[in-house]
Amino acid sequence: MIKVGDALPSATLMEYSDVEGGGCSIGPNPVDVVKASAGKTIALFALPGAFTPTCSAKHVPGYVEKIDGLKAAGVDEVWCVSVNDAFVMGAWARDQKTAGKVRMLADGDANFTKAVGLTLDLTGKGMGLRSNRYSMLVKNGVVASLNIEGPGKFEVSDAATMLAQAKG
């Protein structure tokens, strides 16, 4: 499992774009994790699934609400990672009004999630292999803090915790 001081793994996430520009076409676009995090401070949070109750009611909205504070604390970008496809993440981004605030990144094959060692097996519950709920502050591609939730919990990966760590 990834730990503080480790570099993010080499992986490609997918991001759905509603508008063309900045080298991105409409639709899913690849995001090279190593290149996209280089030279930046990233508040990354991951969760089990788009449109799920806690994720939609608390986790994503918290980061959207705290974006100004996170930016003021030196965070360049906020990433939400979930084992869903880019089309679902794009629809969820529109639903949660994350444009310009939180990058909604799809880990469709769970390659990133497996590489960081934070999978959650929900086989038998109709969801298959997913991501555990966690957050990490990443500086220039290296994990500066890591907050992993216990099973069924939402206590340490929230935006308020991340904001306090970014300020620290």
DSSP reduced 3-state for 34: helix
Catalytic residue among 8, 50, 55, 80: 55
Instruction: Answer whether 164's CB lies under 8 Å from 65's CB.
Output: no
Question: CA 95, 100, 105: angle at the middle one, nearest 5?
Answer: 65
Structure tokens at 101: 């605030």
Instruction: Answer whether 26's CB lies under 8 Å from 18's CB.
Output: yes
Active site residue 80: no
Give the span between the Cα atoms of 166 and 164, in whole angstroms: 6
Instruction: Answer whether 135's CB lies under 8 Å from 45's CB.
Output: yes
Residue with tokens 């094959």: 109
Active-site positions read 55
